[in-house]
Structure 1
Amino acid sequence: MDPLAKKWDPSREYESMAVGELVPGPKAITFIGRVVSFATIIGKSAKQPRARGWHYVGVRGECGVVSVKLYFANQSYPLKIGQLFSIWTAFISDTSKADGASTAGILVCANLFPGRNTSDHLMIHTHPGAADVCRIPLGYIKGEPLPGLMTLEAYLNGGHDGVLDVKLLVCVKSIGAKKKIVKKDGGEFDLIEVILFDHTGETKMKCWSDLIESVKEWIPGKTILLVSNPMHKLDYGGKGTISWGRNTMVDVEPEFADANWLRKWANGLMKKESIGVEFPSEVWGEEDVEEAIYGPRTALFGLRDVEEWVRGGEGESFTGWISVVLVELSLLRYPTLLPHHQPRMSALLEISTTHHEFENHNDIN
């Protein structure tokens, strides 16, 4: 039975504590926090032979982050970055007992197997009243700059090299199509590339299989992310990008002064870039219009977005506008003989771009 759906009636009292107050040792405690990182492992565990697998989850609460090893017997948990958790457990471990190398920023650890261990329980909060809980970043003091916060321009121009505890405050600009990547051993995994921006520049972040469901809830031009300790990588052509590493944590919709400023700035920028053209009713249905306005893709495409979607292999159709600059024109003149043998000149307009040409069946409607 799904532990999330199973009624839990604890036989003991649990003391409510903040994550920053947790100390190693046996004690029935409960705490609350948001998911800032996670990874899923499918396999056998010597400590929990009945488990089909487990999640490594970073849960950020007030004044700290706790690493949770969350076992599952059948189905994995529907985890997403930014989810609000309430956790009940009877034992907290220090980081030396954690699997693998220690992770920066982790204070303590907890092992949970809800449904098997009666002292363990997990609740994922989805009600609107929890929207404002645990939104303030770690280390933030009102009226002071957030320690480690760096602009994208500074980060990509060398700030990534040797600087500890880097934080990037960014807004989601666009979300690419889901791609299937085939590994050398024949296995497959999904990839989505997300374009992020701030007032100084933009970059790409690759999100792999575990994170796909989280990305689907992000809204271009609106969702604000605070990315702590990202990995810097060079993309094709030597362009800097960011990716998820073992120490990477992401706060979704953080609440502090700089985030509020970026939220307003991005909203104003998206309004300037938006298009004021009515949707033609003979092409766009009501659901298509709703998707274009409120969905993960905007109606104004970039050529890079179109190329990714066309080559993504999903076989889907999409309609929209492209705003481009003509970089080359060629006017070709040729004579046309009319019935009265009077010469007439006609012109052909050819538009040349450096981007890939698409087959007719891939053209935008």
Structure 2
Amino acid sequence: MVSPSIQTFYRKETSPSPPKPSKMQHISKTQNDGFTSAEIAATLRPLTRAWKPKGVHEYVTIDQLQAGPCRIKLLATGIEHDCLRFGVRVTVWASFVAEYTAASAIRVPYVSAIVPVHPSLSSTSCIKFHHDEAPDSEEYRLCRRPLDYGDTAAAVGGSSQQQPSSYFPSTPDYLMSLKAYIHSGHEGVPSVKILVCVSSVGPRKVVKSSSSDKTTTQGGMELEMVEVRIFDETSGCVLLLWEDKVASARTWIPNQTILLITNPRFRPPINNKKNATAPELSIGFTSLVEVDPAFPDADWLRRMAVGRTKRESVYIPFPASIWDAEVAIKGPDHQVLFTLADLDNFVRDDPDAIFTGKLNLVILGVRIMENSRANSLCITECCGVPLSANRPRATCKNCRMERVLTLNPRIIGCLVDETGSIAMGKLIWSDRAWTELFFGDPSDAGDADQKNGAENSWEELTGLDTNALRSVEEHLQFSRVTLTFGWSSVVGRLCVLGVEW
């Protein structure tokens, strides 16, 4: 009988076989690396996460900063997202303030201290940017006093009747007009200041800078750029914003936003046979830009810009909420028939009066065909730039948004009566008035065919061919019409509520 061997008393230990390669690959794809999506986002974009300061910070103003390690809290308010633009208020939690010595490579005016900020989970410093503040809110007006603004300015004050003088007499830094700066002020004047108003903001452009371009300092590269037209009471020019500064122009409102620029970079004009350019300004390393500064010079410039807009604007929207057009045109109260001379005397005697009336006028000029050839039958303004087309809708080249247009008031020339005249483009027409001028009042139509035609709006004019437009122009030329108008000092122009033939 064969006895069992000793190997039968011991069994080989088996280890689990490793998973197949396909299975391991499947597992590695379904499992993460131990970090949640919120933790990854907080690391990549630290300024978007909520942050609580470690320790107690003291609330101080900038002029109270002292160099050395300490815990200082500046402008402690709420927190918002992280988009850096000129004129945006920030909250800084700082743990160290360093002295900004004269030995620094780039010397920025008025800067005497440096606050290092490292927004991370373990850091004791952080910065938050505050956006979406209304221009008339109390938060927006914080920290708007210009740097180096003297107390003498408050005593002098800005006048709406005359231009205020410079309010920086106690230091070498002073305020200069734009014309004086372009002419000779840019030549060796230290820390010069110019106060300008934004006229328009152009579309974003991608340009390739040359190797000798001193404005961008990055020759041969494709860079984003936007042209901002600026002006004051003496002159106007173009302000170029490059790369990270382009975002600042998004919130600037034409003819309203005021900029106080210290040490702008100047690019002289080029005049030769091959090329001719206008003078241009840009923002350099030593430049400072203060948006909507709060002092009398800025208030005066803003009032001047509003007055200039009323005089030069190609489009003023019809103020529909001031008068009741239906009551003014067909109400029970008899409307007074004015002459232009009577109307002028009435407004001068009581400038703040709000009233309606009627004018019987003769149309001496019609420019439908001229504006049609210029592609400007309809017009509006967007981004501070006139937008025109021969149809009631068009796309703005700057913001790429579709806008609704109205008829160009300059298609109607001079209107006269026996006492005076109204210049071309000075009337503000309502949509109802335009429709009644071209198609008449629907309620006055006789048969059904006339009613159907009269129900069409003025937009039908934009669909007519050249012969039909010429026929309309000839029909209006030297016609006598009765206009129901409204006057308000808030608008400052006669507004046409309706037209009667």
Q: TM-score range by the shorter chain?
A: 0.5 to 0.7
Q: Distance in 1 between matches of 2:400 and 2:138?
A: 40
1:233 aligns with 2:267: yes
1:296 aligns with 2:383: yes
Q: CA deviation at 1:133?
A: 0.3
Question: Is the alpha carbon distance of 1:183 and 1:117 closer, same or farther for their aligned partners in structure 2, counting shifts above 3 Å?
Answer: farther
Question: Match for 1:138 among 140, 147, 151?
Answer: 147
Q: What's 2:241 paired with?
A: 207
Question: Match for 1:163 among 184, 189, 194?
Answer: 189
Q: Distance in 1 between matches of 2:120 and 2:316?
A: 54
Equivalent residues in 2 for 1:1-365, closer than 5 Å: 1=42, 2-32=45-75, 77-96=82-101, 100-126=105-131, 127=133, 128-144=137-153, 145-147=166-168, 148-183=174-209, 187-236=221-270, 237=276, 239-276=278-315, 292-293=380-381, 295-299=382-386
Q: CA deviation at 1:118?
A: 2.3
Q: What's 1:65 paired with?
A: none
Greater helix fraction, Structure 1 or Structure 2:
2
Deviation string 1:127-157 (CA, Å, 9 cap, x unpaired) is: 5441110001011124433321000111111
Q: Distance in 1 between matches of 2:103 and 2:82?
A: 20
**8 Å Cα contact 2:82-2:128 kept in structure 1:** no
Structure number with greater Rg is 2
What is the root-mean-square deviation of aligned Cα atoms in Å?
3.2
Matched residue of 2:115: which SS?
A: strand
List runs of 5+ in structure 2 lacking aligned partners.
Answer: 1-41, 154-165, 169-173, 211-218, 271-275, 319-378, 389-395, 411-501
Q: What TM-score results when the alignment is normalised by the length of structure 2?
A: 0.47
**8 Å Cα contact 1:216-1:296 kept in structure 2:** no
Greater strand fraction, Structure 1 or Structure 2:
1
List runs of 5+ in structure 1 lacking aligned partners.
Answer: 34-75, 280-290, 302-308, 324-365
**8 Å Cα contact 1:25-1:91 kept in structure 2:** yes
Letter of the 2:130 counterpart: H
Matched residue of 1:13: which SS?
A: coil
Matched residue of 2:180: which SS?
A: helix
**8 Å Cα contact 2:106-2:285 kept in structure 1:** no
Matched residue of 1:194: which SS?
A: strand
Matched residue of 1:93: which SS?
A: strand
Deviation string 1:2-56 (CA, Å, 9 cap, x unpaired) is: 33332223231111111111121000001139xxxxxxxxxxxxxxxxxxxxxxx
Deviation string 1:183-205 (CA, Å, 9 cap, x unpaired) is: 46764211111111000000111
**8 Å Cα contact 2:83-2:129 kept in structure 1:** no
Q: Percent identity?
A: 29
Deviation string 1:310-359 (CA, Å, 9 cap, x unpaired) is: 8x9x9998879799xxxxxxxxxxxxxxxxxxxxxxxxxxxxxxxxxxxx
Q: CA deviation at 1:158?
A: 0.5
Q: CA deviation at 1:292?
A: 4.8
Letter of the 2:91 counterpart: S
Once the two structures are overlaid, the 10-residue window that deviates more, 160-169 or 238-247, is 238-247
Matched residue of 1:106: which SS?
A: coil
Letter of the 1:169 counterpart: L
Letter of the 2:255 counterpart: G
Q: CA deviation at 1:173?
A: 0.9
Matched residue of 1:124: which SS?
A: strand
Question: Is the alpha carbon distance of 1:18 and 1:242 closer, same or farther for their aligned partners in structure 2, counting shifts above 3 Å?
Answer: same
Question: Is the alpha carbon distance of 1:240 and 1:277 closer, same or farther for their aligned partners in structure 2, counting shifts above 3 Å?
Answer: closer
Aligned length: 260
**8 Å Cα contact 1:174-1:195 kept in structure 2:** yes
Q: CA deviation at 1:97?
A: 10
Matched residue of 1:4: which SS?
A: helix
Letter of the 1:179 counterpart: K
Matched residue of 1:153: which SS?
A: helix
Q: Distance in 2 between matches of 1:201 and 1:108?
A: 36
Q: CA deviation at 1:170?
A: 0.3
Question: Is the alpha carbon distance of 1:153 and 1:278 closer, same or farther for their aligned partners in structure 2, counting shifts above 3 Å?
Answer: closer
Question: Is the alpha carbon distance of 1:115 and 1:269 closer, same or farther for their aligned partners in structure 2, counting shifts above 3 Å?
Answer: same
Deviation string 1:255-308 (CA, Å, 9 cap, x unpaired) is: 1011000010111101111135779xxxxxxxxxxx955x4233368xxxxxxx
Question: Is the alpha carbon distance of 1:143 and 1:210 closer, same or farther for their aligned partners in structure 2, counting shifts above 3 Å?
Answer: same
Letter of the 1:297 counterpart: G
